[in-house]
Amino acid sequence: MCIKIKLIVCVLLAVFTSVSIAQGTTYRGMYAGGSFTNHKGKGSDERLTGGVLKLGYDLVNFLAIEGHVGGTIVETIYSDPEYLDSGYTDVRSEHAGIYARLNWRLTNITLYGLVGYGYYKTKFDFIAYEDPFFDRSGENDEQGLSYGVGIDLFGSARTAVSINWMQLINEKDEFDNETNVQAIYLGITHYFNPQKTNHAAY
């Protein structure tokens, strides 16, 4: 895991721990979850799949702070074998973000929006079919505005199925190359306090 992602995780843990201690009740307002992810870059038909972990803290009923960290597994993209420099490319990514989360609580459902800072890193290894002279590796990382929307569907007072759409990153480097990645998350979120919906009777 890269140094920037490790730093984000450490900051998140420090913030959540400090707020919990200040509240005087262990884990009050804290929640955590994990999701399957599917990433797609602008102008590409290829998709990257992987996972993401999140950790959050409800500051008040309608506002939370939430952090994400995750990555994708290696996906192999094949090119036309008729060309001398053709081959296949192994692609993977790492990402992290810290967000303000606005909640709208309904019966057994929470709708929410996320906006904050995101970091996204893509790595690739190209392996030529014929001539290893053409083999190469590289990586690209960008950081900037990240946002999304989601819904929690509660099956109990503490646990929900979570569905998110995320704009993970949309930035250009100094050469005007664009990194524009969107993702869908599907997973489970567990809340340490059973207080997530306004009118649910469990």
> Which residue in this structure is represented by tokens 């005007």?
176
Residue 114 to residue 102: CA distance in whole angstroms: 7
Residue 201 lies in a domain: no
22: left (phi over 0), alpha (psi -120 to 50) or beta: alpha
- Look at residues 137, 113, 138, 117 and name the one whose alpha carbon lies nearest to residue 127: 137
Instruction: Report the SS3 class of residue 122.
Output: strand
CATH number at residue 89: 2.40.160.20
The pLDDT of residue 128 is: 85
Residue 167 lies in a domain: yes
Q: What is the pLDDT along the chain (202 residues), one digit of tens a residue?
A: 455 555 565 555 555 555 544 544 444 688 999 999 999 888 677 789 999 999 999 988 889 999 999 999 988 888 776 665 688 889 999 999 999 999 998 888 999 999 999 999 999 998 888 778 778 888 888 999 999 999 999 988 889 999 999 999 998 776 667 789 999 999 999 998 765 454 444 3
Residue 113 to residue 100: CA distance in whole angstroms: 8
The pLDDT of residue 199 is: 44
Residue 196 lies in a domain: no
- Look at residues 99, 112, 114 and name the one whose alpha carbon lies nearest to residue 197: 112
Residue 126 lies in a domain: yes
Question: How many domains are there within the chain?
Answer: 1
Residue 202 lies in a domain: no
Residue 114 lies in a domain: yes
**Domain coverage including residue 51:** 3-191
The pLDDT of residue 150 is: 97
Contact (CB, 8 A) for 100 and 146: no
DSSP of 20-59: HHHHTSTTTTEEEEEEEEEEEETT---EEEEEEEEEEEEE
Residue 200 lies in a domain: no
Residue 141 lies in a domain: yes
Give buried/exposed letters for 99-130 (b at 16+ CB in 10 A, else e).
bebebebeebbbebebebebbbbbbbbbebbe
User: Would you call 22 exposed, middle or buried from its count of C-beta atoms within 10 A (0-12, 13-18, 19+)?
Assistant: exposed
Q: How far is CA 73 from CA 37, 41, 76, 179, 189, in A?
A: 10, 15, 10, 19, 22
> What token pair was written down for 4?
């920037």
